[in-house]
Structure 1
Amino acid sequence: MLDLANALKTLIFAVTCLCCTQAADTQMTTPPSANAKTFLSLGDSYTIGESVGEADRWSVQLARMLRQKGVDLADPDIIARTGWTTAELQEAIQASGNQKTYDLVSLLIGVNNQYRGQPTDRYRTEFRQLLQTAIRYANKRPDRVVVLSIPDWGQSPYAEGRDRQQIGQQIDAFNAIARDESQQAGVAFIDITPLSRAAAGDASQFANDGLHYSGKQMKQWAGQALPLVDKLLK
């Protein structure tokens, strides 16, 4: 009975400490104010966070990190869906009727162009159009737009048995276009592809479907973007 009582006390203490820790974490993250800077995140499954919770989406994590650094930034509006190509994203943007302007706009798109075997010259044309759309959403300020590179899904468990090297080379070709077009438009380009490749073999970096990334991996993307975006917004 004595051992049971001591175990119960230990359990109560552990639960109490956990609650205190969770409360402290909540207090550390200041909620956005009514006048917070606004954020629009455009993309596909990597932006909508396929197979993870809303709080684990990379752009939501970025907004939270920025608030922790004292930047009053709201959680992002998101226009993204799993499977979208550049053309499908542009169509969805037009169909949304969203006429707002934002203090920050992110764009991460192209993996489905590669997956479906679409030509790179088509990607260049459509990506260039999306960049101009993103800039318009940023109140015609290219310095308030950030592009993230396409992660390499060839390193995921889902790609087992496929030609990982070929997938990587194709991803690199699409990313070279995205980088080039971003530079020409005066838009920041953030290379997260090496982070996605370093995740190979670590199941904790991937969602349960074995293809998409976990909140742990997307936290690294947000961390990669953080210094640049922090500077842009201050």
Structure 2
Amino acid sequence: MKFPKFEDIILYEDSDLLVVNKPPFLSSLDEREGGEINLLRLAKQYTPDAQICHRLDKETSGLLIIAKTPEAYRHISMQFEHRKVNKIYHAIVDGTHVFDDLLVDLPILNVGKGNVVISRGEGKRAETWFKSLKYFKHYTLIEAKPVTGRMHQIRIHLATQKASITGDKMYGGKPAFLSHIKRGYRLTDEEEQPIMKRFALHARQLTFTLLSGEEKTIAADYPKDFAVLLKLLEKNDA
């Protein structure tokens, strides 16, 4: 994978922290020793004391806050811990779903090896608000506001509503193919590739407090693959 230069993904910077629009397929942290390139490594090349304040799944694109100092890391981490950060994600999901400020309040248990399950007995509390933004014949653009920050929270909560994220095979999502939505689309002899080669989830907006006490809201544009899928749905699946 060829990733953009680190400087080109910075959306906000001051003396304490950076906010970046993470590209898809870039890990937040080291997954293995000496492994592939990741966001933390790129950030440390830019500012040596960089620490990532929260995480996004490798395939998820969008906003991440990176602290430049230990004080900034503590300041931002505490806001996440005390649920003071307002997080908005956008997802494209399979099927048409009318969510009008739906609260999904289902506990999540991390069973290890990157897997989570809903467990009312042993799971940790997890809450997400969902709202439908745009309807298509076979898909819906959804806004998700996670109150808590459990692993895979939005993905598994949507799956419980039979609204799996498009392309999210782990939770029942199916890849989107142009042949499914475009009338008269002719397949060639080659195997058709999905429109997006990942699940359609993007960290769209963050509201948090800077060290100065000022409240800051930052939004991140969709990456190319997400924008292309939306455009094709608007054209062919409206």
Give the TM interval when normalised to the shorter protein: under 0.3
TM superposition score normalised by structure 2: 0.27
| Structure richer in helix, relative to its length | 1
TM superposition score normalised by structure 1: 0.27
Larger radius of gyration: 1
Q: Which has the higher contact order (CA 8 A, sep 6+)?
A: 1
